Amino acid sequence: MNILARSACAKIILLGEHAVVYGKPSIAVPFSTLRTFATIAASPVGSGFSITAVDLDNQLTVVDQQSQTVEDPLAVASWKMFELLGISPPDANISLHSNIPIASGMGSGAALTTALLRAILHIADRTLPNEKLNEIVYEIEKIHHGTPSGIDNTVIVYEKPVYFVRGLEPERLKVAHPFSLVIADTGVSASTKVAVSDVRKLYDNNRLVTQQLIDSIGELVLEGRQAIEGNHFVELGAIMNRNHELLKELTVSAPMLDKLVECARQAGALGAKLTGGGRGGNMICLVTPDVIGSVKSSLLANGAYRVYDTIVQ
Ligand code: MEV
C-alpha cells in the first residue's frame, strides 16, 4: 500500500539574494502551493531502501552500503537521517514527485531533500525539531550548491516568512498586512551554483565595487523589512526595483528577466525583481489585488513560460 506521507514547499526570496552569501540579511517566504510530495511504498522484507525521483526521469537511487561513499545527495541525506535515528535502512521505496520547477530559483533541491527526510521520519515513527532537520538539509544543499547561505533550506523547512542572516537563528518576519505577489517563470533553467560562483569571482577580482553592491543590497533588505512590518507597500515595491538593479550589476540577471521585470512594472506592479540565483528562473512582482489578472496576462503575452500568484501573510 502507498502512503502519501510528507511534503515540502517551494520558496521565494523577496529581497537580498546573493548578498546573503556574504553575511547580509535576506527575506524569503514559503510558496506553499508548489510542493514536493513523498509517497512511501512498503517493500518485501530484505529488499532494501530505494528512492524514485519521478521528476528527475524516474531516477532510482538504491540506498545500500555502497551508496554511503558516493556523493548522491538523496543517498547522503538518507544515510545522515538513518545515522541520526540509529536505524538501518528500512525495506521501503520513497517516491518523490514535485510540481516545483527545477533549476528555477524556487528551492526544488531543498524541497526534495526535506520531503524525503520527513518521509523517513514517518517510516521510523519519529519526530525531529525543525532546527535539526534544517541542519541536515543544509548539509545536502552544500552538495548541490557549493557555498549556500542556508536561506533556501531554512524557509522551506520552517515554512514561514523569515528574516535570515547566515549563521544566526532565523527570525520570523512579521507581515503587518497580507500582500500579493505574481511570480513568472522565464522557462530558462539556470544553475544557482554557477551564478553564486560567478559573483564570487567578481568579488575576488573587484572587491571594492562588489562589496559596495553587496552592502547596498543589505541596506535595502533592512528598509524592506520595515516596509513589510509597517504596511508600506509602495515603498516595498520601490525597494524591490532597486534590488533588481543591484542584482543586474552583480551580473545575475538575464535579458528575459529584465524584460519581464519591465513588463510587470508597465502593467501596474508596484515593484519587480528577479528571485533566487537569477540568470533565468523566476521573477516576482508586488501587486495590488486589482491588477493581478492584467499583470499575469501581460507577463504571459511577453513570453513568460508560466505565471502564479500568491498571498504572503
Ligand atoms: C538562492 O536561492 C539564493 C542565493 O542567495 C544563494 C544562497 O543564498 O545560497 C543566490
Q: Does ligand 1 have an atom closer than 6 angstroms to the CB of 156?
A: no
Q: Is residue 168 pLDDT above 90, yes or no?
A: yes
245-285 confidence digits (pLDDT tens): 999 999 999 999 999 999 999 999 999 999 999 999 999 99
- Ligand 1 atom with the shortest distance to the CA of 21: 8
Catalytic positions are: 152
Q: Does ligand 1 have an atom closer than 6 angstroms to the CB of 276?
A: yes
- Ligand 1 atom with the shortest distance to the CA of 278: 10
79-128 confidence digits (pLDDT tens): 999 999 999 999 999 999 999 988 888 999 999 999 999 999 999 999 99
Q: Does ligand 1 have an atom closer than 6 angstroms to the CB of 20?
A: yes
* Helix, strand, coil content of the chain in percent (nearest 5): 45, 25, 30
The alpha carbons of the chain give a radius of gyration, in whole angstroms, of 20
Q: Which amino acid is at 290?
A: D
Q: Does ligand 1 have an atom closer than 6 angstroms to the CB of 277?
A: yes
3-state SS assignment for residue 298: helix
Q: From the CA of 278, how far away is ligand 1's center (Å)?
A: 9
Q: What is the pLDDT of residue 141?
A: 95
Percentage of the chain exceeding pLDDT 70: 99
Q: From the CA of 202, how far away is ligand 1's center (Å)?
A: 16
46-89 confidence digits (pLDDT tens): 999 999 999 888 888 888 888 877 788 999 999 999 999 999 99
Q: From the CA of 56, how far away is ligand 1's center (Å)?
A: 22
- Ligand 1 atom with the shortest distance to the CA of 13: 2
What is the b/e burial string over 243-264, where b = at least 16 CB atoms within 10 angstroms of the residue's CB?
bbebbbbbbbbbebbbbbbebb
Q: Does ligand 1 have an atom closer than 6 angstroms to the CB of 27?
A: no
133-150 confidence digits (pLDDT tens): 999 999 999 998 888 999
Alpha helices in 17-165 (DSSP H): 73-85, 108-124, 130-145, 151-158
Distance CA 117, CA 5 (A): 11
Per-residue confidence at 42, pLDDT binned at 50, 70, 90?
A: confident
Residues 6+ apart with CB under 8 A from 116: 38, 51, 74, 77, 78, 94, 96
The torsion angles phi and psi of 134, rounded to 5 degrees, stand at -60, -35
Written as nine digits, the cell of 189 is 533553467
199-214 confidence digits (pLDDT tens): 999 999 999 999 999 9
Q: Is 149 left (phi over 0), alpha (psi -120 to 50) or beta?
A: alpha
